[in-house]
Amino acid sequence: MAIDKMFSSEGLKWIDVKDPSADEMGELSQQYNLNQHTVKDCLQPEHLPKYEFDDEFQVHFLILRFFSHDSGKDVSSIQELTNKIAIFFTETIVITIHLSDTPFLKVLVKRVEKKCSSATDLLSKIIWQALETFDDPANRLSEQVDFYENQIMLKKTGFNVTESLYKIKRQASISHKVLMLMLEPINHVHVNSGEEPAIQDVRDQHLKMQTLYGQVLEDVNNLLNISLSFSAQRTNEIVRVLTLFSVFFMPLTFIAGIYGMNFDFMPELRHKVGYPAVLIFMALVTVFIYRWFKRKKWL
């Protein structure tokens, strides 16, 4: 376990804990009066965002998730796309606990060491930074959607667009779900008087992220429908061409089948102009079918 005292000022202390064991978390809970049940939640990497309050020791507890996915890999779950950070806080202390690296905390500590007036003010900034980790991935997904939209509309799709769009949809759907779940802990953060703009910034940031991912999901769904429509249209064109060929050759095959029967009494078989006459008749049938199709505007 790595324990860092991020900063300590008059009336406020921030302690950051990385990858603690169960025994180490037990010691931490005794030292700072943390509830045992919430301590267990800290050690579960798959836990979803939530908020709890310990009436006995007046300790707030919330779980957030931040974007930590390597864009070069495919994902299929919340745990693969995001990491968890647990936060205990009172009026004078904030304890952040996480199992993996959280780069945004290291950036944040340099900005807030002398600017935080209270625990809720610091908490607002931590939540804002956690939400900010979803921003760049949302922009990348939006750019990918624009790329595939151009490919589909210009009909330059030489690869499986549906599979690529599904991967984008899956990632956007997971992120959107996480952001929806993070609304509960955000709504339970009650700031002191004068700090309302900080928590309003958090709510605005949350709304922005939800809007971005919601737009990506809507665009991807539209592109999937368009792609499937184009695919169905191409299939219909192929079937149409094959149907036209079959309609042209069906009567010709019928005529050839009649004169291919091995009956002795077929007068046309011994007629001197029988062969060219049948060929001319076949040609006339073909012309008639063609003109009929043109009149019906099927060609």
- Token readout for 172 is 């956007």
Domains and CATH numbers, the chain: 2-232 (3.30.460.20), 240-295 (1.20.58.340)
| Distance, CA of 38 to CA of 99 (rounded, Å) | 15
Helices of type H across the chain: 22-32, 36-42, 78-81, 103-112, 119-132, 135-153, 161-181, 183-187, 196-258, 274-295
Please name which of 181, 179, 182, 186 lies closest in space to residue 60, comparing C-alpha atoms.
Answer: 186
| Distance, CA of 155 to CA of 152 (rounded, Å) | 5
| Distance, CA of 255 to CA of 279 (rounded, Å) | 10
Pairing mode of beta strands 93-98, 82-89? antiparallel
Please name which of 117, 90, 118 lies closest in space to residue 32, comparing C-alpha atoms.
Answer: 90
30-70 pLDDT, tens digit each: 888 888 888 888 888 888 999 999 888 889 999 999 998 76
pLDDT of 177: 94
What is the percentage of the chain residues whose pLDDT exceeds 90? 29
Mean pLDDT confidence for 98-121: 79
| Distance, CA of 130 to CA of 65 (rounded, Å) | 7
Read off the pLDDT band of 158 (50, 70, 90). Answer: low
Mean pLDDT confidence for 219-228: 89
pLDDT of 181: 94
Determine the 3-state secondary structure of 149 from DSSP: helix
pLDDT of 130: 93
Identity of the highest mean pLDDT range in 33-37, 85-89, 289-293: 85-89
Please name which of 67, 66, 37, 64 lies closest in space to residue 53, comparing C-alpha atoms.
Answer: 37
Q: Is the pLDDT of residue 8 over 80?
A: no
Q: Tell me the pTM.
A: 0.78
Mean pLDDT confidence for 248-275: 82
Mean pLDDT confidence for 158-173: 84
pLDDT of 178: 94
pLDDT of 247: 86
